Structure 1
Amino acid sequence: MLDVKNLSNAILANEISLKRASNREFAKYLAIYRENIWFRDTWEKRIGIVDDSDHYFWLIQRNSCVGGVVLEETSFMSLFTIPPFNDEYILLEKIVKFLIGNSAKNEVINAYGILPSQAEHLLKLGFNPQKSRRCMIRPTEIFDDIQWEDNLKIVRPNNQYITDISKLFFENYDSLGFDGVNTLAEQFESVTRYFRDNSNEKLLNDASSIILDSNNDVIAACLISSWEGVPLVYDLAVSSVYRRSGLATKMLKHSLSTLKEKYDFVRLFVYSGNPAESVYYKLGFFSGTKTTNFCFSMDRKGVLSNST
């Protein structure tokens, strides 16, 4: 098993090697040479994603730094190249071979947050695509055209609704940024975490919506949280019975209007295949670059060994 914490440098192949990077220096290069896919709005936030762990490495070719990568025992992420070097395929191939050569036979190699330009290379190397997602962003704006149906009641978040909201999200799961297995227990944990972390944020609570029908059943919910000091659509769902009634759009318009008091924009994460992505787009949300997670099963070594 690869011991990344004690790895200072390693030869990959073809005059390409790994060299441990200073975290501060790595952060600067990552912020400049890797696309700002999450729309971080300050330099401090962009370099702040690099923590004090031991997983940051330069990629060296003939004594010149040609890129960088975040490396763990059986996974990698955040690969970037430094101009004029631009051969991502050769770097990915050598990184993967290095990880395989230092892993047990039953291990799975994971690649996280892969950009579109790198995805084709990983497919050639025998990787299987998993979840894909993107960040979307929109300026806040005051909407004067929000009209709720008379038979509906709009209330602010209250932990008395945790169970009902969890059930709503579970039964109408569309993968809006929910990074977990869709079970009722997982949704309950996620909603409970939302209330725990955001209950004292009045403006975020005011921007959130829980919609009740005439029987006081929860039929829709839009929860707004904060991520990196900026509003984030934590989760949003509408009961299947009320879909295509405009509730999602109205809840988002309410959020955008309320948040304009203090914030310039709102972000959300959406997984590929979520039909609500068209709702966000029609409301003016701008789509960031899609990233995809990949995995490589060790029983597919033959695919890699036959690659160029």
Structure 2
Amino acid sequence: MNDNTAYSLVAANQTSYAKYFATYRKNIWFRPSWASLQEMMLDASNCYWIYRDNKRVGAISLTSSELGSFFMIPPSTLTVDMVNFLKNYAIPNSGDQSKVEAYNVLAEHINVLKSAGFEVLDTRKCMIRPTEKLEHDLHADFISIKPKLVHLPSIVQVMNESYRGGMDEGNLDTYRNDVSYYFEHNRQDELLNASSVLVDKKTNEVVGFCLISMWEDMPLVYDISVKPGFSNQGLGGYMLYKAISHLEGFSPTIRLFVTIGNKADYLYTKLGFLSGEESSHLVYRDRAEK
């Protein structure tokens, strides 16, 4: 791959790659079993073994200018020269000759990538909690209704207002696409009944929502948000308690993702969600781009 280095990449057989991934990649997202980790990767593509001096030392998912979910095979460890090899391999194969992104980077690999010129864009973690029947009243000024496609514009508006200026800020098209995708792929009554759209009785305004989806055969909080002017009224807690309660008997657990630094992290912990390990999204830009 690169005649000036001892490193090389070899396309991996999916079955073999899945077995190694399930064994050596940390289960940071609370996947339910070793078997589920292996099964998830059986359909993975663009997977490669990393060789150093003709010895297999790790593996990576590599697509154009993206490095994803790499892991090392003991006793090998990630090094700066290995990251530089991967970076320099990816750049010529991408449409952007100046940028490489690295996804789902484990905490122990952050400093190595930073030493190779990468910078952290954001860090997330998965959280998990058992489902159970819980009592939690909704403020008398609001009602909770089942989400429907007709609520899409109102949900997008809540996202636009609540995420503005924050670490999860996007644009209207992104919000619309995310909500549209949710309604297209999550039509089970169990999920929609566990979800919420909160309406202000006085104004008939949608002020918050919580959408519950399925991810890898387990419920996931797809998105949850409350308009800024309606915070500190227990609305977020109510929607989560409702989801936890409605899913009892349907699934033993519920998961969510949170960006590190998001103040909602405190609420999730307060409601009994357990934090998993962190993973980060990093980017390398050459000097001209910086």
TM value normalised by structure 1: 0.85
| CA shift in 2, pair 1:19/1:258, >3 Å | same
> In the alignment, which residue of structure 2 is the partner of 1:212?
199
Do the aligned residues in 2 keep the contact of 1:110 with 1:293 (CA within 8 Å)?
Answer: yes
- 1:86 CA displacement: 2.1
**Partners in 2 of 1:219 and 1:247 — Cα distance?**
9
**Partners in 2 of 1:219 and 1:104 — Cα distance?**
41
- 1:44 CA displacement: 4.0
**Partners in 1 of 2:193 and 2:263 — Cα distance?**
26
Match of 2:153 among 139, 160, 163: 163
**Partners in 2 of 1:231 and 1:143 — Cα distance?**
17
Unaligned runs of 5+ in 1: 1-9, 304-308
- 1:53 CA displacement: 6.0
**Partners in 1 of 2:89 and 2:182 — Cα distance?**
40
| CA shift in 2, pair 1:189/1:124, >3 Å | same
Residue 218 of structure 2 is aligned to residue 230 of structure 1: yes
| CA shift in 2, pair 1:99/1:206, >3 Å | closer
> In the alignment, which residue of structure 2 is the partner of 1:172?
162
Identity of matched residues, %: 31
- 1:259 CA displacement: 0.2
Residue 50 of structure 2 is aligned to residue 50 of structure 1: no
Unaligned runs of 5+ in 2: none
| CA shift in 2, pair 1:86/1:300, >3 Å | farther
Residue 265 of structure 2 is aligned to residue 274 of structure 1: no
> In the alignment, which residue of structure 2 is the partner of 1:26?
17
CA offsets, 1:129-158, max 9 Å, x none? Answer: 2122111111112112x1122222111112
> In the alignment, which residue of structure 1 is the partner of 2:142?
152
**Partners in 2 of 1:299 and 1:147 — Cα distance?**
55
- 1:143 match: secondary structure: coil
**Partners in 2 of 1:284 and 1:19 — Cα distance?**
44
CA offsets, 1:12-43, max 9 Å, x none? Answer: 75533222211110111111111112211133
**Partners in 1 of 2:165 and 2:186 — Cα distance?**
21
Larger deviation, residues 59-68 vs 134-143: 59-68
Query: What pairs with 1:77-156 in structure 2 (closer than 5 Å)?
Result: 77-100=68-91, 106-144=97-135, 146-156=136-146
> In the alignment, which residue of structure 1 is the partner of 2:247?
259
- 2:113 match: secondary structure: helix
| CA shift in 2, pair 1:258/1:52, >3 Å | closer
- 1:284 match: secondary structure: coil
- 1:245 CA displacement: 1.5
- 1:289 match: secondary structure: strand
- 1:154 match: secondary structure: strand
CA offsets, 1:230-276, max 9 Å, x none? Answer: 11101111121221111111110111011012101001111222211
2:69 partner amino acid: S
**Partners in 2 of 1:151 and 1:99 — Cα distance?**
54
> In the alignment, which residue of structure 1 is the partner of 2:184?
196
**Partners in 2 of 1:191 and 1:105 — Cα distance?**
29
- 1:104 CA displacement: 7.6
Do the aligned residues in 1 keep the contact of 2:78 with 2:112 (CA within 8 Å)?
Answer: no
Larger deviation, residues 26-35 vs 56-65: 56-65
> In the alignment, which residue of structure 2 is the partner of 1:4?
none
